[in-house]
Amino acid sequence: MYLHDYLNKIMRVWNAYEGQAVARFLALQDFHVNDPNLYKENPDAAVSRQLPSPLDEIVSAHLKVVYHLMRSDPPNYTEAYRFQTSCIQAVVKLLQQMKEENWILPIMYVVSIDLRLLAAKCEQQTKSSKCGEILEKAAESLMSCFRVCAGDTRSSDEDTKRLGMLNLVNQLLKVYFRINKLHLCKPLIRAIDSSNFKDSFSLAQRITYKYFAGRKAMYDSDFKNAEEYLSFAFNNCPRRFTKNKRLILIYLTPVKMLLGYMPRKEVLERYNVLQFHDLASAVKEGNVRRFDEAIRRHEMFFINAGVYLIVEKMKIITYRNLFKKVHQILQTHQIDMNAFQTALQFSGAEDVSMDETHCIVANLIYEGRIKGYISYQHNKLVISKQNAFPNVVAA
């Protein structure tokens, strides 16, 4: 396909208002990228003769990206990224120019995704640059598109560019998680959760959004919201996407466990996350030694998944279940603190002191996992005669 034919095809679908078709001609995953006839270092003059502005700027920048990716060996990601940035700046101009029209949103989607992917490749190629710097600049370009879409409040619900917000938010969330700038996620999540269109976005986009919003809530220790977001993502993700369901489950499982729901072995087995099975068994038994062993055995898995600190929080539930067993054995609402210390030592915490035992019990009371108070004068825990150990879910 010659450049003239390529431009004619773009013009034809452009005049037919076919946003998806135009977007395909601007996607780096499309087959036209492999056509040597389109490798032009300076296509500006030819493009501007056939295409209107600012579409000509978008196409020219895209062709330059293709040139630097396909003509260089290895691909020159730095130059490709620079022209992809020019491409998205022209897209912003297009969004601003075409008021009360949203059929061009697919163009924004493909250009945004390619910008993020090129920025990531650029980070790998230019090791000298500060880690995350290029991706952060890419996020600034994506934010320019987001502001235009979010500010389109005058168009009708069918034609508003606000319908493109979630796609951009997902791209931005992926960048912010990659460069570890999670504090920048909060305003984006707030914008989507308060949007009138939050149920109008495609299911695939909503699943991606809920996955990242759930992870953010988990890191903020907002486990109830994290459970809601991640459960939506897991339940609605099609079964054939096993890898994605496994990713979601890696975060959903510890969140559910912290809320008192222990995972079934067959579910963990199906998605190859049996690392949580030993942990769940130890928590249920109140077995501190087994809990510590499970953490040690699967330490690298938890660290690489980013859930190590979340998993560590389950230790307090292990203590709660251990102390509940002490209460069931002694059958009294005034329990000597020595009994708890002995239970801890027997369960694996051999060198635990009385002060540490007091501290653990005090934390359990503070978190609402035990109803009662410590009588320091008598060195006893006085617990409620009714529901002294509330269900973890209710705590």
Ordered domains of the chain (ranges, CATH): 1-192 (no CATH), 202-257 (no CATH), 316-383 (1.10.10.10)
Q: What is the pLDDT of residue 393?
A: 61
* Angle (CA) 53 57 63, round 5°: 140
pLDDT tens digits for 321-378? 999 999 999 988 899 999 999 999 888 877 889 999 999 999 999 988 899 999 988 8
Query: Residues 44-67: what's their mean pLDDT?
Result: 92
**Please, which residues have CB within 8 angstroms of residue 34's CB and are 6 or more apart in sequence?**
70
CA-nearest of 27, 125, 131 to 76 is 125
Q: Please, are residues 14 and 55 in contact by the beta-carbon 8 Å criterion? A: yes
pLDDT band with cut points at 50, 70 and 90 for residue 198: confident
Q: In this model, does residue 255 exceed pLDDT 90?
A: yes
pLDDT band for 241, please (50, 70, 90 cuts). Answer: very high
CA angle 322, 252, 268 (to 5 degrees): 75
pLDDT of 300 above 50:
yes
**DSSP characters over 9-72:** HHHHHHHTT-HHHHHHTT-TTSGGGG-GGG--S--HHHHHHHS-TTHHHHHHHHHHHHHHHHSS
DSSP one-letter code for 341: H
CA separation (Å) from 75 to 128, 183, 327, 394? Answer: 17, 34, 67, 56
Burial per residue of 270-305, b for 16 or more beta-carbon CB atoms within 10 angstroms, e otherwise: ebebebbbbbbebbebbbbebbbebbeebeeebeeb
Tokens of 79: 């130059």
The pLDDT assigned to 206 comes to 95
pLDDT at 395 over 60: no
Residue 196 banded pLDDT, cuts 50, 70, 90: confident
Compute the radius of gyration of the chain from its Cα atoms: 28
| CA neighbor of 315 nearest in space, from 275, 273, 344, 354 | 344
On average, the pLDDT of the chain sits at 91
Give yes or no for residue 73 having a pLDDT over 90: no
- Does 243 score more than 90 pLDDT? yes
Of 169-173, 260-264, 304-308, 388-392, the range with the lowest mean pLDDT is 388-392
> What is the per-residue pLDDT for 295?
93
- CA distance linking residue 355 with residue 373, whole number of Å: 15
pTM of the model: 0.88
Q: How far is CA 395 from CA 146, 158, 252, 324, in A?
A: 40, 45, 19, 14
Q: What single letter denotes the amino acid at residue 189? A: I
Q: What share of the chain in percent tops pLDDT 90?
A: 69
CA distance 80 to 119: 9
Rounded CA separation 247/101 (Å): 37
Return the SS3 of 158.
coil
End-to-end, the C-alpha distance of the chain in Å comes to 66
Q: pLDDT confidence of 391, banded at 50, 70, 90?
A: confident
CA distance 107 to 334: 69
